[in-house]
Structure 1
Amino acid sequence: MKAYHNCCIIDDDEFFAFNAKRLIIDSDFSENVLWYSDGQRAIDGLIGLLIENISLPEIILLDLNMPNKNGWEFLDEFAALPLKKRENVHIFIASSFVSPDLMEKAKGYNLVLEYLVKPLTKESLVKISTFQKK
């Protein structure tokens, strides 16, 4: 049985997204994995799901450095969605940057549960699952 029904990767790095999706599926972490290559496509896609009355993914893995709309801008727009529609969504930053400043900034967003450093590993998925159970 999968840990989650839907997961979403928001990252412009196709190589990371492909490998993360494969790991997520092979590890039985999630049944479905959505991928958006930037924050604007992600916000548009997620709003589209809401318009179609489809639940948002339970887990979002969000990169920070992307074209069109970066991770911070995505978080600001996502926070503007009705709480009732996004309350079951858990966002994890997935970044290559090991920066205390960025990690501290992420803590300022109530939507962000944890700052993960790439690459995504089975241990990362276990950490996400464990974090969810707290």
Structure 2
Amino acid sequence: MIKLDSCCIIDDDEFFSFNTKKLMKENGFCDNILQYTDGQKAIDGLIGLLIENIPLPEVILLDLNMPNKNGWEFLEEFSGIPMNQRLGVKIYIVSSFVSPDNLAKAKTYDMVEQYIMKPFTVTSLDKITVTKKAS
């Protein structure tokens, strides 16, 4: 498994975020893990990184159903960040609900790499590793 410099979890489910963070650390996937509970906090935090000249996380795990700013709204705003600043960032939608409409909509965003079903497991980490190696 490759090790990432940084990644980000955007999900209002504290249980999911805690377990995913633990899974990542236990498997040597990533040590520097940012965590946000909604899309607005995430956008604010990521733009703050750019202002400080800190690279964005290589991988973002994004839930769709969240308060304040949901995953789709986050993607819209994230798309507005200049390409050269978000180059190399791969977003993985992580959801417990999958629908043909959501899958089709996810494919319209070039930065969305894959749609992964919850629960998040070592196999989920392997899917991310495989797509990171290929890019």
> Does TM, scored on the shorter chain, surpass 0.5?
yes
Q: Unpaired segments of 5 or more residues in structure 2?
A: none
**Retained in 1: the 8 A contact 2:40–2:68?**
yes
2:79 match: 79
2:85 is aligned with what amino acid? K
Mapping of 1:9-88 within 5 angstroms? 9-88=9-88
User: Take 1:131 and 1:54, find their aligned partners in 2: how far apart are those partners?
Assistant: 23
TM superposition shift of 1:118? 0.6
> What value does the CA root-mean-square deviation take over the aligned residues?
1.1
1:19 is aligned with what amino acid? N
Moved over 2 A (4+): none
User: Take 2:22 and 2:99, find their aligned partners in 1: how far apart are those partners?
Assistant: 27
1:65 is aligned with what amino acid? N
User: Take 1:65 and 1:103, find their aligned partners in 2: how far apart are those partners?
Assistant: 14
1:79-123 Cα offsets, whole Å, 9 max, x none, are: 100111100111000001021211111111111000000111000
TM superposition shift of 1:2? 5.7
2:127 match: 127
1:9 is aligned with what amino acid? I
User: Take 1:120 and 1:88, find their aligned partners in 2: how far apart are those partners?
Assistant: 22
2:8 is aligned with what amino acid? C
User: Take 1:20 and 1:30, find their aligned partners in 2: how far apart are those partners?
Assistant: 11
Mean CA deviation greater in 57-66 or 1-10: 1-10
Q: Percent identity?
A: 61
User: Take 1:98 and 1:106, find their aligned partners in 2: how far apart are those partners?
Assistant: 11
Partner of 1:102, secondary structure, is helix
**Retained in 1: the 8 A contact 2:2–2:129?**
no
1:96 match: 96
User: Take 1:45 and 1:19, find their aligned partners in 2: how far apart are those partners?
Assistant: 22
Q: Unpaired segments of 5 or more residues in structure 1?
A: none
2:126 is aligned with what amino acid? V
Number of residue pairs aligned between Structure 1 and Structure 2: 134
TM superposition shift of 1:54? 0.6
User: Take 1:50 and 1:98, find their aligned partners in 2: how far apart are those partners?
Assistant: 32
